[in-house]
């Protein structure tokens, strides 16, 4: 859980100081009031129990979710909206957790911790800049900054505490009975897919050669199929004429799960019985594939006892932890007033 306070606005000011040529976040700004028109950053995008979240807050939170090296220049508009949405969710969650902390008297912070945050911030200032100047540029007082540091510390500590609590609950609940119940309700997930054992011969076609090159490759593939029908050994022909890495093994691709091969190859194999070769080559982006089915294994339902129980336990504990965390946040939200002012 990350809290985005005005401290991160100051961090963004550092970036502006160091990288003045970088553009700001490209966003739609439709202020509802004249004041917001004069200062788009003050536009209110959301409120949590009356606490305002402004466009400046959202822009800064969005910046902090993006790698500085790419910044906004290579981010598609759809991706930017996705990042903005995540940033706004984190801002709202931060306010919800802080209210929870205050309601449960968990908001006490040692003054020394805040002093250390201020000291650390001063150390990160660009050469020639001062904290007073930065505070003035960001329209902040030192007391407001200290309050925001306190909020960050409180939110961080409460988040860590609740996360550990939920991890313990998840570990306690995910026992053998829990896992067996999950297994029974999700049998499809524990099915061994159908497998096929193929041999192939590839006749490549030059993508830039046009229809003439493809026609020539197809003719070669059809000639090989004719030789196979006449009784020539598939593996020998594969070693002599195939142009894929399996040629040295007589075209043997080994066993493969259904869905792991080119659809065109699987389609050709689906019509064959073991020992048969497809009557026509399958076409892919690489050229023409002559397909022979060596064997087929039906889908098999794994028994619970055959599973890697340790991996399943870890997976389910992580899911349960996430569910508990999200449920807690959802409950905080349902007992609070969250308002949105910008689509």
Q: In the predicted model, what is the mean pLDDT of residues 264-276?
A: 96
Beta strands 51-54; 287-297: pairing state: unpaired
Q: What's the confidence (pLDDT) of residue 19?
A: 36
Q: Is there a contact between 256 and 269 (Cβ–Cβ < 8 Å)?
A: no
> Considering the entire predicted model, what is its pTM?
0.66
The domain defined by 194-298 carries CATH number 3.40.50.2300: no
Question: Which residues in the chain are classed under CATH 3.10.50.40?
Answer: 194-298
Residue given tokens 């999700």 in the structure block: 186
Enumerate long-range contacts of 110-117, CB under 8 Å, 24 or more apart. Answer: 113/153, 114/146, 114/149, 114/150, 114/153, 117/7, 117/149, 117/152, 117/153
The pLDDT score that the predictor gives to residue 10 is 53
Note the pLDDT of residue 16. 41
**Does the pLDDT at position 126 exceed 90?**
no
pLDDT of 280: 96
Task: Give me the mean pLDDT over the 135-149 stretch.
Answer: 89
Which residue intervals of the chain bear CATH 1.10.4030.10?
6-162
pLDDT digits (tens, 9 = 90+) for 18-46: 333 333 333 343 444 444 455 667 899 99
CATH top-level class for 6-162? mainly alpha
Mean pLDDT of 76-98: 91
Dump pLDDT digits (tens) for 192-242.
889 999 999 999 998 888 889 999 999 999 999 999 999 999 999 999 999
CB contact at 8 A, 236 and 250: yes
């Amino acid at each position: 859980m990350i809290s985005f306070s005005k401290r991160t606005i100051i961090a963004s000011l550092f970036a502006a100081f160091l990288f003045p040529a970088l553009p700001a976040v490209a966003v739609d700004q439709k202020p509802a009031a004249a004041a917001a028109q004069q200062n788009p950053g003050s536009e209110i995008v959301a409120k949590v129990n009356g606490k305002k979240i402004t466009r400046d807050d959202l822009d800064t939170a969005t910046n902090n979710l993006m790698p500085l090296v790419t910044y906004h220049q290579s981010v598609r508009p759809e991706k930017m909206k996705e990042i903005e949405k995540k940033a706004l969710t984190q801002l709202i969650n931060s306010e919800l957790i802080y209210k929870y902390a205050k309601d449960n008297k968990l908001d006490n912070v040692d003054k020394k911790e805040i002093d250390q945050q201020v000291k650390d911030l001063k150390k990160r200032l660009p050469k020639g800049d001062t904290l007073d100047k930065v505070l003035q540029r960001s329209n902040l007082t030192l007391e407001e900054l200290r309050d925001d540091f306190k909020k960050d510390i409180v939110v961080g500590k409460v988040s860590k505490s609740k996360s550990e609590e939920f991890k313990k609950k998840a570990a306690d609940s995910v026992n053998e009975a829990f896992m067996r119940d999950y297994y029974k309700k999700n049998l499809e997930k524990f099915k061994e897919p159908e497998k096929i054992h193929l041999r192939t011969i590839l006749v490549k076609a030059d993508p830039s050669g046009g229809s003439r090159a493809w026609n020539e490759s197809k003719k070669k593939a059809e000639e090989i199929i004719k030789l196979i029908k006449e009784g020539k050994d598939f593996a020998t022909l594969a070693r002599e004429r195939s142009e894929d890495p399996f040629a040295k093994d007589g075209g043997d691709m080994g066993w493969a799960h259904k869905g792991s091969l080119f659809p065109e190859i699987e389609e050709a194999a689906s019509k064959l019985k073991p020992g048969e070769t497809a009557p026509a080559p399958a076409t892919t982006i690489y050229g023409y594939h002559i397909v022979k089915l060596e064997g087929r294994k039906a889908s098999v339902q794994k028994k619970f006892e055959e599973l890697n129980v340790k991996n399943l336990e870890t997976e389910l504990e992580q899911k349960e932890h996430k569910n508990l965390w999200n449920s807690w946040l959802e409950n905080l939200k349902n007992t609070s007033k969250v308002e949105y002012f910008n689509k």
